[in-house]
Amino acid sequence: MASKQMVHMNQGQGETSYAHNSSFQPSLALKGMHLFDTTPAAFVPSLSDRSETQAPEDLRINQIPAYDIDENVRRERLPVVAGAYARQFRKDFTLFLQLRGQELVPEGRMVVSLPGRRSDEPVTESSLIWGTAAQILGAMASEGVIDKERLDSLYIPVHGPSDEELREIIQEEGSFSISEMRVHDPISGMDRALLTPNRMVNSLRAAFEPIIVQHFGSPGEIMDEFVRTGEEHLSLQRRSQVKHARNPRVMLVVSLTKA
C-alpha cells in the first residue's frame, strides 16, 4: 500500500504556529497576485498546504532514504532522490491541474504560487524545500536524539520545481495556457538582519512540526531539540556562507487561463 502523509502547517496563533512565524506570507501572496495585471484570480498557496500526497514511490519501494546522515552517500544519491521527488510532483501537480480545469469555465483564470528554484540553479541540498529541516534532523540522528532508522523512513512530501519544470508540466497537461510566469526572491527587499537563526528555525518548526511529530513522536522534547539544533546549524551555516549570496530558493508565480 502506498505511504500517504497529510502535510499541514501548525495551526492557531500561538508562538509555534505558522501564522505567528510566517508573518511575511500574506505579503508574498499579495505580491504574487499583483505581479500580473489580471482579472481577479484564485490564489493557491502550495500543493503541500492541504493535499494528501504520497512519498516518492521509487524511494519508498527501494528503501532509499531521502536524507542519509552519511555525507558521501547523501551526495551520491542526490540525483536519485531529486529525480524521485520531481516525478512525484509531476504526477501530483498534473492531477491538481486536471481537477482545477474541471472546476473553471473556459477562459477562467487563476494564479498559482509555490516555492521552487530557478532553472539555471543546480539541484543541491540547499535548494530542496525540505533540505534544511532534513539537515537538522540528520544532526539530531547523529547525536542519538532521534532514531536513524526512523529518519531513513521519513519522506517529507514537498518538492520545489524549477520554473522550466513547472512550465513543461502545465503545457503537457493541457488544461491551461500560461499567460505569464514570474520568478522572484521571497526575501528580496527584506531586512536580512531580521532573518535570525531563531526566526528561521521557528518558521521551519511551524511548517514541518506536524509531520515530524507524527513520524517520531514525543512532541515537546523532539521539537525543543529541533529548535536548539536548528539554531546551532543555521548559525554555523550563516557564518560560512558568502554575504549576499543568491538565494537558492524562489517563489514561482504563474497566471493561468483555462483552455
Work out the angle at residue 135's Cα, subtended by the Cα atoms of residues 129 and 138, and round it to the nearest 5 degrees: 135
Over its length of 259 residues, how does the chain's per-residue pLDDT go in tens digits?
334 554 554 555 556 544 445 544 444 444 555 555 554 544 444 444 444 456 798 999 999 999 999 999 999 999 999 999 999 999 999 999 999 999 999 999 999 999 999 888 889 888 899 999 999 999 999 999 999 999 999 999 889 999 999 999 999 999 999 999 999 887 776 676 777 899 999 999 998 999 999 999 877 789 999 999 999 999 987 776 655 566 778 999 999 999 8
Query: What b/e sequence results for 227-240 when a residue is b if at least 16 CB atoms lie within 10 Å of its CB, and e otherwise?
Result: bebbbebbeeeeee
Q: List, in sequence order, every residue forming a beta bridge with 258; answer none if it has no partner.
A: 176
Q: List, in sequence order, every residue forming a beta bridge with 162; answer none if it has no partner.
A: 117
Strands 52-54 and 42-44: what pairing? unpaired
Task: Confirm if 113 and 146 have CB atoms less than 8 A apart.
Answer: no
The residues, any chain, with a CB within 8 Å of residue 11's CB and separated by 6 or more, are: 17, 18
Task: Confirm if 119 and 165 have CB atoms less than 8 A apart.
Answer: yes
Give pTM, 2 decimals. Answer: 0.81
Helix (H, G, I), strand (E, B) or coil at 86: helix
Domains annotated on the chain, with CATH: 25-258 (3.40.50)
